[in-house]
Structure 1
Amino acid sequence: MVLTVCPNPSIDTYAWLDSFKIGRVNRIMELKEFPGGKGIHVAMALKELKVPVSLLGNWAGPNGHWIKEAYPLRGIEIGGPQLNGNTRKCYTFRSELDNNLNHTELLEPGPKMSTIDWDLFQVQFRKALNHCTLVCLSGSWPSGAPDDAYAQLLKICNKENKKAILDCSGVQLENALKVKFYGLHINEHEAVSNFGVENHLEIRKYLKSNVPMLAVTKGKEGLFLYLHDQYVHANVKVDDVKSTVGSGDCLTAGIAFATFNNMSINQIAAYGVGCGAANCMNEDLGMLRIKDVRRLLTLVEINKN
């Protein structure tokens, strides 16, 4: 089983309106809601790829309950502590008339995590590790969580001899890199923010001794993947892009799928970009379809330059 960790879930919400007038009443014409948060996107993609998967998160209030009961998560074993407050909503505004407003995001703060909540999360994390061979750790943490939360979880993974793939940024990533772990997915913006460079060769030099697998993504330029002393670049083109929200998470899921199945570096790269691109073909946020992945796998271009 693959264990996916989503410390800060959300209800991702499309909100359609023509324009936004500051200081005036603005009416939303239509809402569409999806279970969200990076780790949840990874879990849904792995489920679609027919991988046995479990999900550990922090849940709060009616919003947290709604996410756990959402149809795309059915069949996924879900755990994690119940926090006070309410799980956040993240709004993406859609407008056909105002390009400045279109795809503007508005994020709620979400619940606060107490020391007791963090202790309980670690207990449940250790228990969940007993049933998995691979862990995917993705996204931000609620307010109140320790700045080295991922570093602490990675140390637990190392003690239990479990491979872990991490996708995060900021202080959590900075502290996590003080620990050795199996794999890291980072995009070009996070690379500049955390390392001051976006060149994948420079990032690899910095991380080589601590992280055997490094996946650097650069949007339309594709995936630059390192695994021990091997390297490949992979890309696939999608003509009809409906939404890019969650594409990086689906790419992480593709990498996890291939790693879970002990595939070669070429196959890991192909499934990574294939899953990331498949998400772009679907209007639903952070979701892919296995039929799209299978078709895109035949179109992936792999090179070692």
Structure 2
Amino acid sequence: MIYTVTFNPSLDYIVEVPSFQMGMTNRTTSESIFPGGKGINVSMVLQNLGVESTALGFTAGFVGDEICRLLQEKGCHTAFKTLPEGCSRINVKLKSADGTEINARGPVITEEALEQLMQKLDMLEKGDVLVLAGSIPTGLPATIYQDILHRLAGKEILTVVDATGNLLCNVLEHHPFLIKPNHHELGEIFDVTIDDMEKVKIYAGKLQEQGARNVLVSMGGKGAALLTEKGDFYHLPAPEGKLVNSVGAGDSMVAGFLAGWLESGDYAHAFKMGISAGSASAFSENLATKEEVLALYKKLK
């Protein structure tokens, strides 16, 4: 089973407001609400691809109830810990105001609640997959991803980490199966500019030297690259298409890679599924469907 962890999930309230004006009453022309959070995005795309997963993390209040309801409506399994106080986040995203967003803080996660999540993770078994994605909310220890992987060490669980900076670097000693920095994040780790595939290969290799098994690097419109634990290096340009919404594209790439790997055990196929899923989400208002992913997959050479 695949498990995804989203510490601070949200409802994303996406509104289109033509000619948005500060200090004025603005009216929307369209509205939509989606469950949000990087781990949740991975679970939803996996579900679209026909792969089951269970979404873990913390929810609170009526917003948390709605997050769970919407995920279950989409067919996703959920096992969130309900916090006794506070309310899960509602994030407002203005489509017509230069990408303006208002992201809430979310509820306080207590030490007791965190330990209860840890106990759930203790139940994972050999062959299970754990996805840790995104930043962590204020109040949790900065070492939380590292602590989780340390606690699961020796259980032969495939771990995937999509994070930035020290949150990512600190887990490498635990040999995660897959990490997915984008090329900007990869450059920031080593204080360099990543502007060609040779540099991607060099610095992805440095992350492998620190412990990562497979390094998947997303590069926006330039496509993506994969350095495998076998030393193979794959890279592909992004498929042709119109960028509609980049939110969730990286998470979709992780989901597509996992779906491809679990289906075949073949890195080339997993890589193509990853870039197809990431691009399909970027070309759509919503997260990628299986039909959209497979249509792009057929175009990749």
Give TM-score, length-normalised by structure 1: 0.89
Q: Distance in 2 between matches of 1:156 and 1:218?
A: 32
Q: Which residue of 1 aligns with 2:174?
A: 179
How much does 1:151 deviate?
0.8
How far did residue 156 of structure 1 move?
3.0
Matches within 5 A, 1:107-118: 107-118=103-114
SS in structure 1 of the partner of residue 291 of structure 2: helix
1:280 partnered with 2:282: yes
Asked if structure 1 preserves the Cα contact closer than 8 Å seen for 2:126 and 2:155, the reply is no
The letter for the 1-side match of 2:157 is: K
Alpha carbons 2:55, 2:79 under 8 Å: kept: yes
Q: Summarize deviations over 1:162-188 as a string: whole Å, max 9, x none.
A: 011110113422322343221100112
Matches of 1:33 and 1:238 in 2, distance apart? 28
* Cα deviation 1:44-75 (Å, max 9, x = unaligned): 11111111211111111111111110057543
CA contact (8 A) 1:166 1:183 kept: yes
Measure the CA separation in 2 of the matches of 1:113 and 1:170. Answer: 23
CA distance in 1, matches of 2:27, 2:43: 30
Q: Does 1:121 align with 2:117?
A: yes
Aligned to 1:215: 216
Contact kept, 8 Å, 1:158 with 1:181, in 2: the verdict is: no
CA distance in 2, matches of 1:26, 1:175: 46
Q: What are the equivalent positions in structure 2 for 1:127-206 lying under 5 Å apart?
A: 127=123, 129-130=124-125, 133-197=128-192, 198=194, 199-206=199-206
1:265 paired residue number: 267
> Is the CA contact (8 Å cut-off) linking 2:201 and 2:227 kept in structure 1?
no
Gaps of 5+ in 2: none
SS in 2 for 1:102: coil
Separation (CA, whole Å) in 2 of partners of 1:131 and 1:60:
31
| Amino acid in structure 2 at the alignment position of 1:106 | I
Deviates more, 1:26-35 or 1:56-65: 26-35
Q: CA deviation at 1:92?
A: 1.8
The alignment status of 1:27 with 2:26, answered yes or no, reads yes
Q: What amino acid maps onto 2:121 in structure 1?
A: F
Partner of 2:58: 58
Contact 2:9–2:58 (8 Å) recurs in 1: yes
Give the TM-score taking structure 2 as reference length.
0.90
Q: How many angstroms does 1:266 deviate by?
A: 1.2
Q: For residues 227-242 of structure 1, what are the structure 2 equivalents within 5 Å?
A: 227-228=228-229, 229-242=231-244
Question: 1:109 offset after TM fit, Å?
Answer: 1.1
Cα pair distance change 1:145/1:36, threshold 3 Å = same
* Cα drift, residue 132 of structure 1: 5.8
Contact persistence 2:125–2:157 (CA under 8 A) = no
Aligned-partner Cα distance in 1 for 2:152–2:200: 26
1:247-266 to 2 correspondence within 5 Å? 247-266=249-268
Structure 1 partner of 2:297: 297
What per-residue deviation string (whole Å, max 9, x for no partner) do you get for residues 72-97 of structure 1?
Answer: 754322113222311112222122xx
The letter for the 1-side match of 2:224 is L
Q: Contact (CA 8 Å) 2:60, 2:88: kept in 1 or not?
A: yes
Structure 2 counterpart SS, 1:153: helix
1:280 CA displacement:
2.1
- Residues 25 and 67 of structure 1: CA distance in aligned 2, closer, same or farther (over 3 Å): same
Determine the C-alpha separation between the residues in 2 that align with 1:256 and 1:183.
9
> What corresponds to 1:98 in structure 2?
none
The alignment covers a number of residue pairs equal to 292
Q: Which runs of 5+ in 1 are unaligned?
A: 96-100
**One-letter amino acid of the structure 1 residue matched with residue 227 of structure 2:** Y
Cα distance in 1, alignment partners of residues 27 and 188 from structure 2:
34
Q: What is the rounded CA distance, in whole Å, between the counterparts of 2:221 and 2:125 in structure 1?
A: 38
For residues 232-286 of structure 1, what are the alpha-carbon distances to aligned partners after superposition, in whole Å with 9 as ceiling and x for unaligned?
Answer: 10234232332121011000101111222243221011001110111123212xx
